[in-house]
Structure formats: C-alpha cells, structure tokens
C-alpha cells in the first residue's frame, strides 16, 4: 500500500491510499482544480481512485466531495449521520450515485481493501476514523477528535502507518488573538482536536514493533508549528521509552502533498 496526504489542516484535507489495482480517497475538502493540481505533484495514479470515504461533514473535509466524486465517478461511503449532513449542506445531490452506508466496527470491502470505521469524538454528526487493511498491512486514519477512548485505542493498536492528529500547542492556542474564547474552548474540549501532547501520548500507546510510519496531521497554522509538533512527538516517545529506531515521522502540510510512503 502507498499513502499520501495531498493536503492536511483546517483549509482542506485529502488522503490517498493506493495499491496495485485501485485507490481510496479519504475526504476531499478542496476544489477539483486544487485536487487535480496536488495529485499531479505526486507519483499517484488518479485513474485508480474508485471510492471515497468520508470521516465527517466539516467543510475542510467535504468541500470538494460532490464535484470530485462526479468528475471521477467515485462511490462515496459514509455513516448515516454524516451522509445526511452532507446532503443537507447541498454538497451531494439526489441525482448523484447514492452514498453507501458505513457502520462502526463492521468491516466492509472497498476495492481490494478491508475497511473498518471506528468512532471519534468531534463536534460533528457522526464522525469516524478508518482502518484500511490489505495483505496483512494496516493504515489508521485518526484525526479530528478531542478524545480517544480505550476501546478505540485497543482497536487501532499496532498499525503499520498512522495518520495522527497533532492539532495545536495549548499555549499558542490560548495566546492566538484572532480566535475568540468560545472557539478556543471548543478546540480544547473532548469534542475538539488533540493537542501535540495528547496526540503524541496516544500514539506512544498505539505503536508497536510493527509500526513504521506516522504522519503528524491537521497541524494548525495559527496555534502550532511543524517544529513544535515534531519536537513534542519525539520528546513524548523518549519520555515513555518508545523505540524510535525503525519509526519514520512525516510532516504534513496545507495545500502541499507529503511524500508517498509505501509499506
């Protein structure tokens, strides 16, 4: 499997997971023009993308769902609550290919992949993360959540690749003048976003000797920096005496694709 985050952050999110035959797109919070531009900067084959998984209905994850799914003739998948919210926002039309239902903790086949959704804690209708598996390899998408339950942690433990939320530095978030206090409270809540410290701690409990890659994802442009996110991850892993010798840590960017990582 190959993994690439085309863009990550509050201005847009889109993830591609590719194998030899087909690919999955997870979320599309960017226009078709920007999607086409970003994927052209990678080695990924856009013609392989046949399906799109939706995590939740916030604009930075679904802005381009309608137009991109129509342009590429994609089958869209999502939970009932998320699907209903997307239709209410007018992103998808009744004339589009019907969205296929996703049930949490119930594995389903998408192309050659086995996909399982798991619940997250975010201020959305029915937010989920995804486990993507093929040939004994496992990728976990765990972003846009303010809390991760013990049940979820046990379920997603031991993956080969993690897309791990490292949204904000708490001190920076509290000092950002352009963000009102209610928004700061929302971000800091259990229905908001994981801080650098929380994301790193959770990852330290998830990774095993099988884990080879982690993408530090959904990094705030106002309340975080790449350097802070990376330093915090390394510091926490060192504190908990996690062996990092076989682990590659990848940064993610708004409107710039990451390297394509293969397992």
Mean pLDDT, contiguous 10-residue spans, the chain (263 residues): 97 96 97 98 97 97 97 97 95 92 97 96 97 97 97 98 97 88 91 96 97 98 96 97 96 98 96
Q: What is the dihedral of CA 197, 222, 120, 248, to 10 degrees?
A: -60
Exposed, middle or buried: residue 169 (CB in 10 Å: 0-12, 13-18, 19+)? buried
- Please give the CATH number for the structural domain made up of 2-262: 3.60.15.10
Q: Could you give the angle at the alpha carbon of 81 between the alpha carbons of 76 and 87, nearest 5°?
A: 60
Q: Which residues fall within 8 angstroms of residue 28, CB to CB, at 6 or more apart?
A: 13, 14, 35, 52, 61, 62, 63, 64, 65, 68, 69
Sheet holding 23-26, edge to edge: 100-101, 75-78, 49-53, 23-26, 14-18, 2-7, 261-262
Q: What is the pLDDT of residue 178?
A: 79
Q: Which residues fall within 8 angstroms of residue 80, CB to CB, at 6 or more apart?
A: 101, 126
Q: What is the pLDDT of residue 172?
A: 92
Q: What is the pLDDT of residue 94?
A: 86
Q: State the chain's maximal CA–CA distance in angstroms.
A: 54
Based on C-alpha coordinates, what's the Rg of the chain?
17
Q: Which ranges of the chain does DSSP label H, i.e. alpha helix? A: 32-39, 59-62, 65-72, 80-88, 150-156, 170-175, 181-188, 196-206, 226-239
Boundaries of every domain in the chain: 2-262
Q: Around Cβ 113, how many Cβ atoms within 10 Å? A: 23
Q: What is the pLDDT of residue 111?
A: 86
Q: What is the pLDDT of residue 168?
A: 96
Q: What is the pLDDT of residue 24?
A: 98
Q: What is the pLDDT of residue 176?
A: 86
> Which letter, b or e, does each residue of 59-87 get, where b requires 16 or more Cβ atoms within 10 Å of its Cβ?
ebbbbbbbebbeebebebbbbeebbebbe
């Amino acid at each position: 499997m190959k993994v690439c985050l085309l863009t990550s952050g509050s201005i847009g999110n889109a993830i591609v997971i590719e194998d030899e035959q087909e690919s999955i797109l997870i979320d599309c919070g960017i226009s078709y023009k920007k999607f086409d531009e970003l994927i052209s900067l990678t080695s990924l084959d856009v013609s392989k993308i046949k399906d799109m998984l939706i995590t939740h209905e916030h604009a930075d994850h679904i802005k381009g769902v309608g137009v991109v799914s129509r342009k590429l003739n994609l089958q869209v998948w999502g939970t009932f609550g998320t699907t209903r919210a997307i239709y209410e926002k007018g992103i998808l039309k009744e004339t589009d290919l019907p969205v296929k239902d996703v049930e949490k903790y119930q594995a389903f086949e998408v192309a050659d992949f086995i996909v399982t959704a798991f619940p997250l804690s975010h201020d959305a209708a029915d937010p989920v993360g995804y486990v993507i598996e093929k040939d004994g390899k496992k990728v976990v998408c765990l972003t846009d959540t303010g809390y991760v339950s013990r049940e979820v942690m046990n379920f997603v433990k031991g993956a080969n690749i993690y897309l791990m939320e490292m949204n904000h530095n708490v001190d920076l978030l509290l000092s950002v003048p352009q963000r009102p206090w209610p928004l700061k409270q929302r971000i800091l809540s259990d229905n908001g976003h994981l801080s650098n410290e929380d994301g790193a701690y959770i990852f330290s409990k998830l990774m095993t000797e099988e884990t080879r890659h982690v993408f530090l994802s959904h990094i705030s442009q106002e309340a975080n920096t790449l350097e802070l996110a990376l330093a915090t991850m390394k510091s926490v892993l060192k504190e908990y005496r996690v062996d990092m010798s076989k682990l590659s840590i990848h940064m993610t960017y708004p409107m710039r694709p990451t390297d394509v990582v293969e397992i």
